[in-house]
Amino acid sequence: MSTLSELLAEQTELRGEAVEHLKRVVAEWQLLADMSFADFLLWVPLPGGTEFLCVAQARPTTAPTAHPEDIVAARVTTTDSPQLRRAVVEGRICREEYPRWHLEVPVRRETIPVRFGRSVIAVLSRDTNLAMPRVPSPLEIAYLGSASDLCQMVADGTFPPSAETVGAVTSPRAGDGLIRLDAHGLVAYASPNALSAYHRMGHASDLVGVVLSDATRDLVHDPFDAAEVAARIDGALSGKHSLRMEVRARGAVMLVRALPLRPRGDAAGALVLVRDVTDLRRRDMALLSKDATIREIHHRVKNNLQTVAALLRLQARRTGIPEARIALAESVRRVNSIALVHEALSVSVAERVDLDELVDKVLPAIGDGATAESRAKVRREGSFGTLPAALATPLVLVLTELVHNALAHAFDPGRAGEVVVSAQRSDTTLDVVVADDGRGIPEGTDLERSAGLGLQIVRTLVDSELGSALEVRPRPGGGTEAVIRLSLRGR
């Protein structure tokens, strides 16, 4: 299904800031749908002026939907829906005189012009399912009154606010807790969830009739936060929009957002949305503690591996057998490669490793410690991106072995050359090639039966840890290349 941006770009003449305004409308309109107990459809006029295209749809979480089917991308003519055209021409909210039947359900439609600047660029239809009559309650009256004020502000072009102040993505919703203020800042209505939130912050009595900014200021312990949240509530009464704010009181954590209600420019009070996120923040703190513990474990593993490498290095210096010294030096190199992975994980919150940064640390160390006679250089091409630690550790070990083998066996003593580690990544695969411009594979060499420990380690890791296969072949133009293709699906 096409997105809002795609539909607007492909089938309408709207561009630039007008498109951004419609995106802000869609970001905010779940609040309108929930408080209206109605579906909202966004209709945009098509070139020619005889059709409208539905580019977005929102269903209420507080009432049965009027549109169980998907309406997005549907077209209607001005003949079939004259009310849409009427809202554009007259620039005001229009309401059908009689309900219409849709899928055996009576639906009442209101059309709300979406004004941007001096122009009406789209129309919102507010479609209410009338199959289940509702008994008016204080909550419903407050919801519907607030929704009507906000819809009128959409028609006026004053809601939603500009991109700099919009906070709908993480804003509390109507069901989280809603407080309606009158023009003087007194609480006219507070939903049960809003009352519970304020009781948790320490307000023991009812909120109706209370000056909310003063009551909230008295509850918040931090003087700066107290002054800020009170200023935002008072600012909403004077017509200012603001981002949602997090406040703490008596161990409770609340998200608060204040919206001005100024239909037709008249001060009608404000809408304050409250969400209790105390338990959510406690879980966040637990996760942060867990992340810190994991990073500390990686740090200690790295330190232990470096200690092991130092002991092996010391043992290599004390042994008088050349073969043993070489074997111990290779073990030091392998241990250090694993330690680098744990070092990267010890400073990262995520259990993913930036392979480019890691490989750039490993390759110079391999080049410096390969052989005294080698003059070959090592470099990286392309980007590995990030990988889970479960893949990063074996892949770094594989690259270490392949590069070391190339430096040790591909070049004659004293000859300059180059070893290139290249990576080509797509959405589903990562192709890794280690290529050299050395003397190539000697004729008659059976790499599958090679007794070298390095290649045995590589094949084992590639098969068991990376779930791939190693292919070693002559490089076009001379030399040798080792190729590995990793699947990234689900990784």
Same domain for 355 and 431, yes or no, is yes
| Domain contains 486 | yes
| Domain contains 164 | no
Q: How far apart are CA 271 and CA 178, in angstroms?
A: 7
Beta bridge partners of 255: 246, 275
Number of domains in the chain: 4
Domain end, chosen from 232, 249, 276, is at 276
| Domain contains 203 | yes
pLDDT of residue 322: 86
For residue 38, what is the domain's CATH number? 3.30.450.280
| Domain hosting residue 457, numbered range | 350-491
pTM greater than 0.75: no
pLDDT of residue 369: 55
In 197-230, which positions are buried (b, 16+ CB within 10 angstroms) versus exposed (e)?
bbebbebeeebeebbbbebbbebbeeeebbebbb
pLDDT of residue 83: 92
For residue 358, what is the domain's CATH number? 3.30.565.10
Q: How far apart are CA 472 and CA 474, in angstroms?
A: 7
For residue 260, what is the domain's CATH number? 3.30.450.20
Indicate the pairing of strand 418-425 with strand 377-382.
parallel
pLDDT of residue 451: 55
Cβ–Cβ contacts within 10 Å for residue 2, how many?
A: 13
| Domain contains 167 | no
| Domain contains 20 | yes
pLDDT of residue 214: 95
Same domain for 230 and 151, yes or no, is no
Same domain for 262 and 285, yes or no, is no
Same domain for 252 and 331, yes or no, is no
Same domain for 391 and 367, yes or no, is yes
pLDDT of residue 450: 62
Q: How far apart are CA 480 and CA 455, in angstroms?
A: 14
- Cα–Cα distances in Å, from 481 out to 375, 439, 456? 19, 12, 17
| Domain contains 68 | yes
| Per-residue model confidence as pLDDT tens for the chain (491 residues) | 568 988 998 899 898 999 999 999 999 999 999 999 999 999 999 998 899 999 999 999 999 999 999 999 999 999 999 999 999 999 999 998 888 888 888 999 999 999 999 999 999 999 999 987 777 899 999 999 999 999 999 999 999 987 555 455 568 999 999 999 999 999 999 999 999 999 999 999 999 999 999 999 999 989 999 999 999 999 999 998 877 899 999 889 999 999 999 999 999 999 999 999 988 888 877 777 777 777 788 778 888 888 998 898 888 888 889 889 888 888 887 888 778 777 777 776 567 888 898 888 888 877 665 555 567 888 999 999 988 878 888 888 888 889 888 888 888 877 888 899 999 998 889 999 999 998 888 776 766 666 577 788 888 888 888 889 898 888 888 889 999 999 887 76
* 8 A C-beta contact, residue 189 and residue 279: no
Domain end, chosen from 349, 369, 392, is at 349
pLDDT of residue 163: 59
Same domain for 223 and 326, yes or no, is no
Same domain for 8 and 147, yes or no, is yes
Same domain for 360 and 449, yes or no, is yes
| Domain contains 313 | yes
Domain end, chosen from 261, 276, 291, is at 276
Q: What is the DSSP string of 168-236?
A: -TTPPPGGG-EEEE-TTSBEEEE-HHHHHHHHHHT--S--TTSBHHHHHHHH-SSHHHHHHHHHHHHHH
The type of residue at 48 is G
Same domain for 463 and 489, yes or no, is yes
pLDDT of residue 192: 96
Same domain for 468 and 430, yes or no, is yes
pLDDT of residue 362: 82
Same domain for 239 and 299, yes or no, is no
Angle at 78 between CA 76 and CA 81, to 5 degrees: 70
| Domain contains 188 | yes
Output 92-101 pairs: Cβ under 8 A, ≥24 positions apart: 92/155, 93/151, 93/152, 93/155, 99/130
Same domain for 148 and 13, yes or no, is yes
Q: Which residue has the tokens 């009781």?
A: 199
pLDDT of residue 145: 96
